[in-house]
């Protein structure tokens, strides 16, 4: 058995662990999702974000686990996160013309074995609020960040972790309760007992994770009735990828 406090304590305790950071300075966030798993004795929260690594030439999914039943020490050196590469450095080099810019002659990109058209009409990006990089881009080409965000919104299922990817470090029989696509999130990071973002950013202090903890304990997904406005959309995190 476990309690809501057990879950909230695990979320607050970030030594040698990562709390999902939607505004990480080296990662341009595109999409995000949370998945909940639980039975009578085991629970897991799996949070993921998709995006482009700043200057890394990599489009990937970053997955963070919080649980009382993980088995991932050997693969991840004891940390609680892992990644899924969607488009590699070599793939990007094959479509680039300039630094992190898409060659205008490139028509398609292949993600998970599926060929997706590359939209070259900048007005369609603008309509989604996706800005095209203006610096060092004299020909106004589509940049890798804009491409990642556009494709993520056009093909969200392809850009989320698969069931097997999510469950990689979870017990096979652990039941899935629900997925959450929109929630209220705060940046949280603690090191040496110091949290630079303030005590009110601890997951245990606000509704989102208090409600998630209650759902995991009761297994009642109808309890998901948030009153805080969802803010996990990348547009709410302008500092993401800014370093």
Query: In this predicted structure, what is the pLDDT of residue 193?
Result: 60
Q: What is the pLDDT of residues 84-108, one digit of tens each?
A: 999 999 999 999 999 999 999 999 9
Q: How confident is the model at residue 76 (pLDDT cuts 50, 70, 90)?
A: low
Q: What angle do CA 167, 45, 215 make, to 5 degrees?
A: 125
Q: For the chain, give every domain's residue range.
A: 4-84+166-236, 91-154
Share of the chain above pLDDT 70, in %: 93
With 0-12 CB in 10 A as exposed, 13-18 as middle and 19+ as buried, what is 159? buried
Distance CA 129, CA 171 (A): 40
Q: How confident is the model at residue 72 (pLDDT cuts 50, 70, 90)?
A: confident
Q: At what angle do helices 207-218 and 4-12 cross, to 10 degrees?
A: 140
Structure tokens at 206: 């606000």
For the segment 15-38, the average pLDDT, to the nearest whole number, is: 94
Contacts of 122 (CB under 8 A, 6+ apart): 132, 140, 142
For the segment 132-151, the average pLDDT, to the nearest whole number, is: 97
Q: Which helix (H) or strand (E) is 34 found in, with range?
A: strand 27-38
Query: In this predicted structure, what is the pLDDT of residue 196?
Result: 61
Query: In this predicted structure, what is the pLDDT of residue 125?
Result: 98
For the segment 156-182, the average pLDDT, to the nearest whole number, is: 97
């Amino acid at each position: 058995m476990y309690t809501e406090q057990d879950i909230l304590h695990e979320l607050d305790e970030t030594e040698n662990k990562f709390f999902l950071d939607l505004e990480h300075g080296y990662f341009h966030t595109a999409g995000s999702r949370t998945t909940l798993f639980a039975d009578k004795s085991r629970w897991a929260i799996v949070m993921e974000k998709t995006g482009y690594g700043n200057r890394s030439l990599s489009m990937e999914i970053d997955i963070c686990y919080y649980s009382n039943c993980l088995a991932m020490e050997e693969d991840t050196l004891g940390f609680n996160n892992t990644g899924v590469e969607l488009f590699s450095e070599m793939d990007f080099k094959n479509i680039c013309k300039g630094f992190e810019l898409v060659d205008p002659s490139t028509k398609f990109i292949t993600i998970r074995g599926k060929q997706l058209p590359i939209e070259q009409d900048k007005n369609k990006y603008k309509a989604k609020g996706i800005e095209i990089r203006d610096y060092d881009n004299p020909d106004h080409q589509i940049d890798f960040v804009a491409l990642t965000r556009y494709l993520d919104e056009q093909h969200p299922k392809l850009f989320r972790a698969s069931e097997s990817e999510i469950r990689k470090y979870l017990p096979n029989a652990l039941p899935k309760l629900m997925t959450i696509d929109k929630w209220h999130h705060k940046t949280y990071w603690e090191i040496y007992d110091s949290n630079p973002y303030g005590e009110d950013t601890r997951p245990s202090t606000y509704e989102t994770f208090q409600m998630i903890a209650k759902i995991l304990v009761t297994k009642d997904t109808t309890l998901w009735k948030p009153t805080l406005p969802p803010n996990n959309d990348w547009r709410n995190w302008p500092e993401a990828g800014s370093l």
